[in-house]
Amino acid sequence: MSQQSEMHLFAPGHSGCPGCAPSTVLIHVVDTLGKDIIVVNATGCMEITSSQYPHSAWRVPYIHSLFENAPAVASGISAALKAKGNHHTKVVVIAGDGSTYDIAFGSLSGMLERGDDVIYCCYDNELYANTGVQKSGATPIGAATTTSQAGKVHHGKEKERKPIVEIAAAHNIPYAASASIAFVADFQAKLKKAAQISGSKFITVNAPCALGAGFDGSISMKVARLAVQSRMWFLFEYENGFFKLNFNPKVAKPVAEYMQLQKRFRHLTPEEIEKIQKLCDHHYIEMLERQKASDAKKIVFDAVTQPPSTPPASPSAPAAPKT
């Protein structure tokens, strides 16, 4: 086990919870992208658990930024590298959903609008895990948190999550994607694709928080997998404006099967769960329509951008007879 742990660029011994899904996200980010990176880590649970002075779990260059300015710090580092003639070192932002969806939302938008050469990776545990399990813009509808409590008047969060990948893609960046820590091959492929693209890249990774959502850490991957299988979370990507749904189960798991594993949903009535099920079904239809529209757009795009074929040469006219 100790020999295996030495292989990882995110070291063991951090103070993350047993079975911490976001910690697993960090392992795959740095191992997939390799040593030639600089990590900018926004304040959050992964910063607290990995870099408490004088210890660090990072085996790559690392800088801790504030909740609100990780994208700006990364933009500055990227510009400095380019000014020094370094076009190979990748700058990677690692931030939670609290920073990404909410506190640094303006800074993130600025980075994307400028097209700065940064890979932005959000470990999305759907709440503010570091500061007391408050709701964030990523918290799913119906979930109970310390600021969206389940009581007589309000019954958990009453609004749907912010569509952060679609918002990122709307900045006309070359790559934006949604991934899950339970689908590692898909996640790694998206990281590798992002590393080969110049400009701003955005990936958000579903990584449920055992402590905040209320389940045993030993089933973190089961919970994450069920989120995708029940269509509470989708795997998709936008590449140069074209949409692709990466995983489409023929038979979805019931939303109730995903929710019953988590304390944050246990206050919901069968009627409320059924409403959420219908929302998920509706979003699935939207995804299929989005795929259909993107495929049609791709056909038109290819037709317009492909060079015209050279028309066949006309047969030469026969020579006039000599007189």
For the chain, what are the domain ranges?
Answer: 7-149+158-305
Residue 318 clears pLDDT 70, i.e. is over it: no
DSSP three-state, residue 237: strand
HSE-CB of 214 using CA atoms within 13 angstroms: 15
Residue 16 clears pLDDT 90, i.e. is over it: no
Instruction: Give per-residue pLDDT as tens, 34-46.
Output: 999 999 999 999 9
The DSSP line for 263-274 is GGGTT--HHHHH
Which region among 217-226, 249-258, 314-323 has the lowest average model confidence (pLDDT)?
Answer: 314-323
Q: Which residue has the higher pLDDT, 203 or 321?
A: 203
Instruction: Give per-residue pLDDT as tens, 93-113.
Output: 999 999 999 999 999 999 999
Residue 290 clears pLDDT 60, i.e. is over it: yes
Please state, in angstroms and rounded to a whole number, the distance separating the CA atoms of residues 33 and 190: 11
Which region among 79-88, 184-193, 247-256 has the lowest average model confidence (pLDDT)?
Answer: 247-256
Local confidence band at 323 (pLDDT 50, 70, 90 cut-offs): very low
Q: Output the CA angle 231-234-237, nearest 5 degrees.
A: 160
Q: What is the pTM of this model?
A: 0.92
Q: Which residue has the higher pLDDT, 318 or 58?
A: 58
Average pLDDT, the chain: 93
CB 221 within 8 A of CB 21: yes
pLDDT at 315: 58
Instruction: Give per-residue pLDDT as tens, 45-59.
Output: 999 999 988 889 999
E strand map for 181-274: 201-206, 236-239, 242-245
Give me the mean pLDDT over the 270-298 stretch.
97
Local confidence band at 320 (pLDDT 50, 70, 90 cut-offs): low
CA-based Rg of the chain, rounded to a whole angstrom? 23
DSSP state letter for 319: P
Task: From the options 3.40.50.970, 3.60.20.10, 3.40.50.2000, 3.60.20.40, give the CATH code of 7-149+158-305.
Answer: 3.40.50.970
Give me the mean pLDDT over the 249-259 stretch.
94
Local confidence band at 212 (pLDDT 50, 70, 90 cut-offs): very high
Give me the mean pLDDT over the 66-85 stretch.
97
Residue 170, Cβ neighbours under 10 Å: how many? 14
Amino acid in the structure at residue 130: N
Q: Output the CA angle 297-298-304, nearest 5 degrees.
A: 90
pLDDT at 12: 84
Instruction: Give per-residue pLDDT as tens, 236-248.
Output: 999 999 999 999 9
Distance, first Cα to last Cα, the chain: 98
